[in-house]
Amino acid sequence: MDTAKKEIYVFGHKNPDTDSICSAIAYAWLKNQIGAQARDSFASLTAQAYAQEQQPDTVYVPRRAGQLGPETEYLLKRFNTPAPVYTNDVRVQVSDIDIRKVDGIKETLSLKQAWTIMRSVNIATLPVLNKDRTLKGLITIGDIARSYMAVYDNTILGKSHTPFTNILDALDGTMIVGTSDGYVKDGTVTIATATTEMIRDHIHPGDVIILGNRYETQLCAIEQHAALLIVCEGSPVSRTIQKIAEQNGSAVISTPYDTYTVARLINQSVPVSYFMKKEDLVTFKTTDFIAEIKGTMLKKRHRDFPILSRSKRFVGMISRRSLINMPSKQIILVDHNEIDQAVDGITDASVIEIVDHHKLGTIETMSPISVRNQPVGCTATIIYQIFVENAVDIPENIAGLLCGAILSDTLLYRSPTCTPEDRAAAEALADIAHIKTHELAQAMFAAGSDLHSKSDEEIFYQDFKRFTAGSVTFGVGQIMSMTQNELDEIKARMIPYMHKAKKNHGVDMVFFMLTNIMDESTQLLYSDEQAREVAENSFMIPAENDQLYLAGVVSRKKQLIPRLMATLQQ
């Protein structure tokens, strides 16, 4: 049965807040529990029925599309939960497609052995590897075919420094004199069929001589200091010849084949290093995106392309056929459903489910999916309800994360987005996690408002989202603090940074909310005169000191965005 693991990623939005991270972690854990229960139900099936399923296990993995804020870091540390792995792009990568595992070969391997391997595993290209599995070259069927066209080159064994082991293998030979770890250093390959007088004039030191059982010919080759004698048809080699050969440093191999067959086979002993391609190799990394390498693959008429790891070690091979029916990554979105807020590459992925508490946005799917969108103050509330509906017990750490997410999104029930469902869920989760909501909220908010060590960029993007109203695009960031002094310090840093952020994102305007948790108010900053005009028209309040003071406004989703949208759409 196929036991391959199929991963489905659970993502919150870019620049994730506490709800986005905690909901992704909790929902991935819940989906895995539901999947385990479903697999356990197979145990009651017969072995045959179970085998017929042939379905790979599915594993749900939380991921994040941005950096963690201090509030979220505090919560994860308090409940001893690792942060999701950072993933900034979900386009299909080389590692996502079928990489054919191929055992590499040594550069000393013979053409015959390489050909045998190719036929046995039905491949057209073999990687030649160094000891550390880095790629040295490639040998293809075409390269081997070209080697046979070099049959007229009688110096090829010397040029390629062919090992004796390769010759023994190609000729099914036996070492009579010498050691098998030797190799041909130079010289030519000669078939000794003429008279001794003629042979003497054509044999030079270092040559490889193919001959028969004639004593005189064998002795002549040795006296001319031939490097290697290949005695055909299993002819006996006398003790005298063996002794003389040993004294003169000539090796002797006996083969059962006749001279014609030996002449045909001997080129197969050449090491692959002589014919392999070493320069300008087209390789890809496991982390490469298919969209970026597809053009190269179609342009280069190679059958196979080697794949390397990040450490440049050989992994396997892919071919152009690998691009057929290429699977896209499957994604579950939590706490968002807008394309501008989703991880990069989302349009190339398959969104299979959405769990959210925001207005419906711009995500499009190729087929119907499950969407759970409820008017509550936090996505974690919805996920808590799904736990209850599926009768899955919630671990203490997951309960703590979900509780913290609700307290964060509802500002300890002070936000106008808070509903009775949010409060009930948070209190129930607090009981499971053995915590007090007010104490947890105070600790979280204190950690989240400690921004002195953060850079301007980190503060600005700690909770930043992008929106579209008609043809206008705008971004809104938000920072919450328990002290007005800290907000005043941040204001001085954010006003100049907003111009840079506007340019980097290519949006029409940028806003930034400095929210005071204690007195439930927001100082709304704006990037330019156009943004100031939109803000003033939205709240009918004049700007003063480069800001709008919005009493009672703490929610971006419910109190700010709807007003900005209405103004922009007019």
Q: What is the pLDDT along the chain (570 residues), one digit of tens a residue?
A: 345 578 999 999 988 999 999 999 999 999 999 987 766 655 454 444 444 444 457 899 999 999 998 899 999 999 999 999 999 999 999 988 888 898 899 999 999 999 999 998 888 899 999 999 999 999 998 888 877 775 567 888 999 999 999 999 999 999 999 999 999 998 899 888 777 777 787 888 999 999 998 899 999 999 999 999 999 999 989 999 999 999 999 999 999 999 999 988 998 999 999 999 998 899 999 999 998 898 888 888 788 899 999 999 999 999 888 877 778 899 999 999 999 899 999 999 999 999 999 988 878 888 889 999 999 999 999 999 999 999 999 999 999 999 999 999 998 998 888 999 999 999 999 999 999 999 999 899 888 877 777 888 888 988 888 898 888 999 999 988 878 888 888 898 998 899 888 888 889 999 999 999 888 899 999 999 999 999 999 999 999 988 999 999 999 988 999 999 999 987
Residues 249 and 300 occupy one common structural domain: no
Residues 142 and 285 occupy one common structural domain: yes
pLDDT at 47: 43
pLDDT at 45: 47
| Backbone phi and psi for residue 111, each to the nearest 5 degrees, phi listed first | -60, -35
Residues 348 and 379 occupy one common structural domain: yes
The secondary structure of 418-455 as a DSSP string is: --HHHHHHHHHHHHHHT--HHHHHHHHHHHHT--TTS-
State the CATH number of the domain containing residue 279: 3.10.580.10
Please check whether residue 252 is in contact with residue 228, taking contact to mean a CB–CB distance below 8 angstroms: yes
State the CATH number of the domain containing residue 180: 3.40.1390.20
Residues 212 and 306 occupy one common structural domain: no
Residues 385 and 469 occupy one common structural domain: no
Residue 156 placed within a domain:
no
Q: Give me the half-sphere count of Cα atoms (radius 13 Å) on the Cβ side of residue 353.
A: 15
Rounded Cα distance between 417 and 548, Å, is: 21
Residues 227 and 128 occupy one common structural domain: no
Please check whether residue 250 is in contact with residue 225, taking contact to mean a CB–CB distance below 8 angstroms: yes
Question: Could you give the number of structural domains in the chain?
Answer: 4
Residue 249 placed within a domain:
yes
Residue 441 placed within a domain:
no
The secondary structure of 539-569 as a DSSP string is: HT---BTTBEEEET---IIIIIHHHHHHHHH
Counting every residue written for the chain, the total comes to 570
What residues contact residue 203 under an 8 Å CB cut-off, 6+ apart?
A: 190, 192, 209, 220, 221, 224, 226
Closest CA to 186 of 210, 154, 161: 161
Of the residues 269, 287, 302, which one is the last residue of a structural domain? Answer: 269
Residue linked to tokens 């091979």: 317
Of the residues 345, 374, 393, which one is the last residue of a structural domain? Answer: 393
Please check whether residue 337 is in contact with residue 354, taking contact to mean a CB–CB distance below 8 angstroms: yes
Tokens of 547: 């800001």
Residues 464 and 534 occupy one common structural domain: yes
Closest CA to 113 of 255, 308, 319, 265: 265
Per DSSP, the three-state class of 70 is helix
Residue 413 placed within a domain:
no
In which domain, by residue range, is 125 found?
96-148+274-323
Pick left, alpha or beta for residue 468 (phi over 0 → left; psi -120 to 50 → alpha; otherwise beta).
beta
